[in-house]
Amino acid sequence: MKSKVFKYLIIFLAIANLASGQWVIIDTMFTHDENSGFVYHYAKFIDNGTIFHYYTHDPGTPSSMAHMVVRKTINDGVSWSILINYLDYSYLAYDLEFPNVDTGFFCYNFNSTNTVVRSFNGGVTWEIIQNNGPVNMFFIHGIKGYGINGKQTMRYVNDYFYVTDTLPYDVNAYNSKLYFTDNQIGYIIFAEPFSQHRRKLLRTLDDGNNWDLVLSDSTESFLDLCAPSDSVCFVSGASGKIYKTIDIGNSWTIINTNISSPVISMSFTDPLTGWVISHNNMVYRTNDGGLSWSSQILPHEAYELRKIKMIDDQTGYIHGVTWGSGLHEIILKTENGGLSNIINNPVELNHIDIFPNPFINKLKIKPVQIVELVSAEIYNITGEKLFEINFYSRNPGEIDLSHLNSGIYILIISNNDFIQTERIVKLK
């Protein structure tokens, strides 16, 4: 029979893994309760603990009011402050950049005008600096930035975005991405008008004054790019391919990743060390510039990953979404580069399937193996027992947890023969 001491050890290890495992959920955000219209949602990770989150909910009809919100946390989502909150169909959020914790830029559409506002105090107050600005931006630091609006590329100089070049291509600026190094070298992936696929990559060697086509693939859709040095750049594709250059884009090779689903987002801290997330909700890491990749463990929740950002080799964030009763956004964090330090319980077997996870009010239980009387216990992250129920696992059923607040909990299912631990997340 499992002793209480052994069970408490399992609880302790589960709580420890919440704090120091590979990737753990640190916040779940309920964005809106409408299942109609469009929601454009983004998260920008600035440093360890500071996150900006912004979204626009567009109901799709002029008679309904759109909602544009910018929020900020400085404690990994424990509390959020609302910086901008507009309830007006005329607003549509485009892009937000904070090159440091104090200086930020936000561009949005207001009455068909691309407006750019700036903050010098972490988003507490904003001032309009331009009414014909870019749709997408990229800032290296507080006084050096770049933008794109249609065929026009821009550079931020002396408090204004000036046009630097008119591209020889028709560009869907809403479906484009910029990336610059700190040495006048930059890249743009873009789709042409009325196309959902970014099939071309442009490069500049002179701070955006001139752009050249250096990569094109008529069968691929470029999803993200990252340039960790002046000479090295990575571009990910919808087929799972990753393109790499080590000579400032003059030549490109395709990295064999063995990833079969779209590579949604990438983050490299140097030319050798990088992370990617794929459409099948997997995280992969390379320590050799993409020659080899290792997968990393995520909590077993059902969500769609959107963006990964590593602050340094140890600290990083992932932004994802899940649909339940409305749209819920999830932020995951690692503080050890996603490396495993989980102590496995050798006697633990998955006798019971628990789903959905995250959940709203009820967890469904489905036996994988036939066992007799089972105890299910719920603990919070401090180890306090909140709930207990006994049931026969041969009978599928539900656990009603509607009385719990939203957050992360530990579920322990056990009897005389096994102990199974699960990390569960209750949404708002």
pLDDT value of position 214: 96
169: its two tokens: 């291509």
Of the pLDDT bands very low, low, confident and very high (cuts 50, 70, 90), residue 380 is confident
Q: What is the fold, at CATH topology level, of the domain defined by 4-12+345-426? A: Immunoglobulin-like (2.60.40)
What is d(CA 286, CA 242) in angstroms, rounded to the nearest whole number?
A: 12
pLDDT in tens, 151-167: 999 999 989 999 999 99
- 4-12+345-426 shares its CATH topology with 25-334: no
178: number of Cβ within 10 Å: 24
First vs last C-alpha separation in the chain: 38
What is d(CA 317, CA 311) in angstroms, rounded to the nearest whole number?
A: 8
Among residues 40, 52, 106, the alpha carbon closest in space to that of 76 is found at 52
Of the pLDDT bands very low, low, confident and very high (cuts 50, 70, 90), residue 369 is low
pLDDT value of position 7: 57
pLDDT in tens, 13-48: 555 555 445 888 888 776 655 455 556 678 899 998
What is the pLDDT of the chain when averaged over all its residues?
83
In the chain, domain spans: 4-12+345-426, 25-334
In Å, how far are 242, 277, 301, 338 from 281, measured between CA atoms? 17, 7, 10, 14
| Contact of 344 with 22, CB cutoff 8 Å | no
205: its two tokens: 């060697």
| Contact of 170 with 151, CB cutoff 8 Å | yes
pLDDT in tens, 92-123: 888 999 999 999 999 998 888 899 999 999 99
Among residues 251, 358, 226, the alpha carbon closest in space to that of 299 is found at 358
Give the position of tokens 């207990």.
Answer: 388
* 10 pLDDT higher than 60: no
CATH number for the region 25-334 comes to 2.130.10.10
pLDDT value of position 267: 97
* 1 pLDDT higher than 50: no
Which of 7-11, 21-25, 42-46, 85-89 has the highest mean predicted lDDT (pLDDT)?
A: 42-46
